[in-house]
Amino acid sequence: MRSIIIGTICLISFGATAQNRDVAFKNYFDTLAAHQLYDGNITLAENGHKVYAFSGGYADYAQQRQNTEQSRFNLASVSKVFTSTAILQLKDKGKLKLDDEVRRYLPDFPFPGITLRHLLTHTSGLPNLELFEETVKQYPDTIITNIAVLPLLKQWEKGLYFKPGDEFRYCNTNFNLLALIIEKVSGLDYPGYLEKYVFRPAGMKNTYVRGVNRMDDPLAVKQQVKPTYYDTAWSQADKVARYRYTEYNNSGSIGSSNIITTTDDMLKFDNAFFSGKLLSRTTVEEAITPVKLNNGKTYEEHMDTMLGEGTGQYGLGWEIFSMPGYGKGVGHGGFKFGLATFYYHNLGTRQVIVAYMNGNSSFGANVTSCFYLLNGKPGIPLSLKKSAVREYARALMTSGADHAACMLHLCKADSVNYYFNPREMNFLGYDFLYQSKARDHLQWSLETFKLNTFLQPADFNTYDSYGEALLEAGHREDAIRMYRKSLELNPNSKDGIKAMKKLGLM
């Protein structure tokens, strides 16, 4: 079973309530900068005015180009807020109704009963990026654009995932279709509409929709990843094989993503939107009202990006945050491999957070700390400890298994400077197994998984991971032993059951 790293060990705490808020901001962000813990930009505002701005790290590691306040980031899914605004403007002008069926504006759309409201609220039941998988398999170098959406929906044979309005299922296809509808109704292309009716009225001079003619913007940041858990160098995300489908093949669609902007321009949008400059007051309120499903219940889950207590809901292209003691906030989060974005507006305090990241970050903790610091509370403690597993990976690749095991034990014992997370060992083992092209990659994977079974003998996951590597290495009987041990510890292990069935033993 593959595991995702979800936590860090904390070391230093900031923002004691006795501190002046500005001092708390400075202490927190100075520490981020000094220890290179954040690549990206963060801007904080209150009552329409900026109260703090931070730029850290590199817009492009390969060129050693630093992030500045002028750096432009792809908003990823925060772009949906702009698509929603455009649709709602057309509603305010009487050019469409939210309960109109999509087929009224796009006659080739093959699914009756889906309305514009269903698209805005992710309750349509349509397929997401899986819609394009067969096309990309057939044409691996293709970049999907909105032109492909309707023809591929007509070819989609699996139908809707549910009756429209019955469930919430996040789906980028919804907003690709909304962009097509904006073009059909307004007579302008999507970038042209946003420029004329959203960016220009809001004073957003450093914002545009990504297109072929804007690919070489010198102020645009790169999506940067370390391709594997053992890599030390940063790479451009769309050039890494494991991210090619999402970051290259699916990089051309608009409506759901691909608005490029700065933190300052995002503040200008916030001021324009909530002052009633872009929409009527009643429509603003409608946009940030939680969606109700067909059963009358309001959709609800944990908040996106923000940590701590609170619930998340969804309106008309807006995420809604309800946090005990802090009231209601709205905004949106965005993610691409090598990039994350977040926009938050508290309706009561008028506090605003705009955060973009394109490299190092504990993004959820950083964003939540900004929120706490704005409210005079301590930020989430930062971790300055290094990963013992990364040290193990380097030692294994350069000096062999014995030295690596020695270094891991020494790092684990040095709890002042290192932390150990067994999930990271599991993640590393899979990176060696499936991502590395080195001659010894299989042996490195076996060593990593094997050592993890000794370090975590009660965790069923370590055994089925080790079993998978043993099977890849041709050690069938030992692999079966590991799968049996995994199922002994957890009889309901889906991966263990699947493997044993494949081996003809269940």
Q: Are 348 and 328 in contact (CB under 8 A)?
A: yes
- Residue 475: CB atoms within 10 A of its CB come to 15
One domain for residues 190 and 333: yes
One domain for residues 203 and 102: yes
Residue 446: how many CA atoms within 13 Å on its side-chain side? 13
Query: How confident is the model over 437-478, as pLDDT tens digits?
Result: 999 999 999 999 999 999 999 999 999 999 999 999 999 999
Asked if 315 and 449 sit in the same domain, the reply is no
Host domain of residue 392: 387-502
CA dist., res. 95 & res. 485, Å (int):
64
Question: Is position 490 within any domain?
Answer: yes
**Are 396 and 357 part of one and the same domain?**
no
Quote the CA–CA distance of 462 and 325 in Å, as a whole number: 41
The domain total for the chain is: 2
Instruction: Decide: 144 and 132 in contact? Cβ < 8 Å.
Output: yes
Q: Indicate whether 63 belongs to any domain.
A: no
CATH at 332: 3.40.710.10
The answer on 393 and 356 residing in a single domain is: no
Same-domain status, 298 and 394: no
Stated as kind and residue range, the H or E segment containing 457 is none
Domain contains 108: yes
Question: Could you tell me if 316 and 398 lie in one domain?
Answer: no
Query: Strands across the sheet with 40-46, in order?
Result: 49-56, 40-46, 351-357, 339-346, 327-336, 319-323, 311-314, 301-302
Phi, psi of 62 (to 5 degrees): -60, -35
Do 435 and 293 lie in one domain? The reply is no
* Eight-class DSSP state of 104: G
319 with 395, same domain: the answer is: no
- Rounded to 5 degrees, φ, ψ at 403 are -65, -40
Same domain, 210 and 111: yes
Give pLDDT, residue 13: 47
Lookup: tokens for 34: 């000094």
Assigned domain for 469 exists: yes
**Could you tell me which of 21, 120, 114, 96 has the C-alpha nearest to residue 332?**
120
Q: Residue 499 in contact with residue 472, Cβ under 8 Å?
A: no
CB neighbour class for 29 (10 Å; exposed up to 12, middle 13-18, buried from 19): buried
Gap between the Cα atoms of 51 and 57, Å rounded: 21
Quote the CA–CA distance of 29 and 8 in Å, as a whole number: 18
Find how far residue 35's CA is from the centre of its chain. Answer: 23
DSSP for residue 416: T
Cα–Cα distance, 138 to 377 (Å, whole number): 53
**346 and 468: one domain?**
no
Q: Which one of 361, 396, 424 terminates a domain? A: 361
Contact (Cβ atoms closer than 8 angstroms) between residue 66 and residue 57? yes
Q: Within a 10 A sphere around the Cβ of 497, how many other Cβ atoms?
A: 17
Task: Please give the Cα distance from 332 to 306 (Å, whole number).
Answer: 11
Residue 123 lies in a domain: yes
* 195 alpha carbon, distance to own chain's centre: 26
pTM, two decimal places:
0.89
* Angle separating helix axes 460-472 and 441-455, nearest 10 degrees: 160
Contact 126, 111 (CB under 8 A): yes
Q: Note whether 472 and 426 are same-domain residues.
A: yes
Residue 23 lies in a domain: no
| 442 contacts: CB under 8 Å, gap ≥ 6 | 432, 433, 469, 472, 473
Q: Cα–chain-centroid distance for residue 364?
A: 10
Residue 3 covered by a domain? no
* Residue 25 falls inside a structural domain: no
What does DSSP assign to residue 57? S
- Given the structure tokens 């998978």, which residue do they identify? 468
What is the distance between the alpha carbons of residues 435 and 432, in angstroms, rounded to a whole number? 6
- Residue 215: the pLDDT is 61
What is the CATH classification number for the domain harbouring 410?
A: 1.25.40.10
The closest alpha carbon to 39, from 383, 370, 360, belongs to 360
The per-residue pLDDT string of the chain (506 residues; one tens digit each, 9 = 90 and over) reads 333 333 333 444 444 443 589 999 999 999 999 999 999 999 999 999 999 999 999 999 999 999 999 999 999 999 999 999 999 999 999 999 999 999 999 999 999 999 999 999 999 999 999 999 999 999 999 999 999 999 999 999 999 999 999 999 999 999 999 999 999 999 999 999 999 999 999 999 999 999 745 667 899 999 999 988 888 899 999 999 989 999 999 999 999 999 999 999 999 999 999 999 999 999 999 999 999 999 999 999 999 999 989 999 999 999 999 999 999 999 999 999 999 999 999 999 999 999 999 999 999 999 999 999 999 999 999 989 999 999 999 999 999 999 999 999 999 999 999 999 999 999 999 999 999 999 999 999 999 999 999 999 999 999 999 999 999 999 999 999 999 999 999 999 988 999 999 998 87
Cβ distance 319 to 331 under 8 Å?
yes
